[in-house]
Structure 1
């Protein structure tokens, strides 16, 4: 990550945390106050991101994804809250076939 990208990220987080709308001018003002010189496109890129995505939601879902477990519960929470998650049916467990033992084949290890 470049210095401009990291500094613009922090500026966006500061604005979001304070409940201030994220604009390129406000990001640039924070970077100027911090004496951080960045390429001119970084503030506008992060402002466009903030227009399209809710930064607070991105922060809350930093650890989301990845592992395979918990997807039905997360989908139920997103769809209707905690009550829907409690009413969701448990995931189906596949029944594994039983392994055959050596006794079934007519011989054993010590025969």
Structure 2
């Protein structure tokens, strides 16, 4: 998230917390008072977004992404004890595949 987006986000939250209507002019005024330089389109984008959405709903749903992936099912033979050692090996292969795909995309969480 850029500094401009973050500044407009905070300004919008301040306006909402004070019970004021969220407009582009008010967002721009708060950002200017904080001595943050933002491109002129950011306040209007945030104002247009927040006139259609409820800020409280956005706050409540922070971090609630989509559903998790379904757990893989492993077919077990009649003697279930024999299948147990194979389960960790399958998990390790999947983890390795994930790491390889991240490297191939030249993506790292800590870069």
| TM-score using structure 1 length | 0.60
Give distance in 1, aligned partners of 2:79 and 2:33: 74
Q: Which runs of 5+ in 1 are unaligned?
A: 69-96, 103-111
Give 2:28's aligned residue: 28
**Which is higher, the Rg of structure 1 or of structure 2?**
1
Give distance in 2, aligned partners of 1:63 and 1:37: 28
Give distance in 1, aligned partners of 2:6 and 2:65: 23
Q: Equivalences for 1:80-91 in 2 at 5 Å?
A: none
How large is the RMSD of aligned CA atoms in angstroms? 2.4
Shift of 1:98: 6.9
| TM-score using structure 2 length | 0.60
Q: Which runs of 5+ in 2 are unaligned?
A: 69-74, 81-111
Give 2:109's aligned residue: none
Give distance in 1, aligned partners of 2:39 and 2:76: 63
